Chain A
Amino acid sequence: MFWADRHFVIGRFPPLDRIDYLDRPLVLLERERLRPARPTLAEIRAYLRGAPFANWAERARSFAAAAALDAKDRKPYLRALLYPARLCYAYTTGRMGSNDDAVAFLHERPPAGLDVASLEQALTCRRAAADPDPLFALRSVLPAQVEACAALIGSSQ
């Protein structure tokens, strides 16, 4: 859940989600429409380089070293496989897109070293709402995905 005060000074509302709120919210209740400053590309990139990248990299390395996929880890595992698509798409464009948008974008403009085929497989699994167990072998590509994303976000600060 995301939340903020009137001035968007306190709360939990990261830049990309703020863009989502500005551009295309589905209104459930509205007494007053507040329009915080639109996050700049520099702000989005600074945010993505921080906790989102670090948390994903840690999870990715953990899955890469795992011997088995626990049932409780199916959702986080598929998310870890797909996250490079969202990260690279948002980092490059400054936009908030769906996983479909992100993978389609990376087919056209793949960052150096990024394995887009594994992203496509993960996206297919997601669309089918299937178990990711057949994709567990793809954990071996995760360290290289981390390196590719690190290179992208390190090269364009």
Chain B
Amino acid sequence: MTPIPPDQAARRAAVEFAQSLVANWQAALGIELLGVYLIGSLVHGGFSRRYSDVDMAVIAEAGLRAATMERVRGEAAARSAE
């Protein structure tokens, strides 16, 4: 079996990680949440396991409050450390 290139494996893991955060956004925003997307190198190519960021875009009816962002960021950081 051909091994998966490291950047490709990392990209897959990053997408799965982002998908796992959607539930947090839903819990935090409820029906205010209009969409959650990935953009950037995860989508248009050139993702680097070392140098790329995970660029997530969140659209909500009235935007995001600082407290909501902090809460979801904290949950993401905790999950990232697992």
Contact = CB atoms under 8 A, between A and B. Distances in A.
Interface in A89-104: 96-101
Nearest to A5: B63
A1 B58 contact: yes
Main secondary structure of the interface of A (DSSP, over half): mixed
Given A3-B57, A3-B60, A21-B57, A29 B44 contact: no
Main secondary structure of the interface of B (DSSP, over half): mixed
Interface in B7-45: 7, 15, 18-19, 22, 25-26, 31, 33-45
Nearest to A6: B61
Interface of B: 6-7, 15, 18-19, 22, 25-26, 31, 33-46, 48-51, 55-64, 69, 73
| 6 residue pairs, one from A and one from B, having the closest CB atoms | A98-B46, A5-B63, A25-B37, A129-B50, A26-B38, A20-B39
